[in-house]
């Protein structure tokens, strides 16, 4: 299972997430600024 990071396009917040957190953020937006995000805002972590 690979690591996944969310990088907010609006506030720049970077958060390590798992699959369920990814789904939550896609549905509810950035946890920090609530901006709407897409799958492109998730990147594989190092």
Residues near Zn ion (CB under 5 A): 8, 10-11, 13, 30, 32-33
Pick the closer one to Zn ion by CB: 17 or 30.
Answer: 30
* Dist. CA 39–CA 41, nearest whole Å: 5
Provide the minimum distance between the beta carbon of 11 and Zn ion in the complex, in angstroms, as a whole number.
3
Local structure of 17: helix, strand or coil: strand
SS3 content of the chain, % helix, strand, coil (to 5): 30, 25, 50
Pick the closer one to Zn ion by CB: 1 or 27.
Answer: 27
Provide the minimum distance between the beta carbon of 41 and Zn ion in the complex, in angstroms, as a whole number.
9
């Amino acid at each position: 299972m690979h690591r996944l990071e969310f990088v907010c396009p609006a506030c720049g917040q970077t958060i390590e997430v798992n699959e369920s957190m990814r789904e939550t953020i896609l549905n509810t937006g950035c946890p920090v600024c609530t901006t709407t995000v897409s799958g492109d805002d998730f990147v594989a972590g190092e």
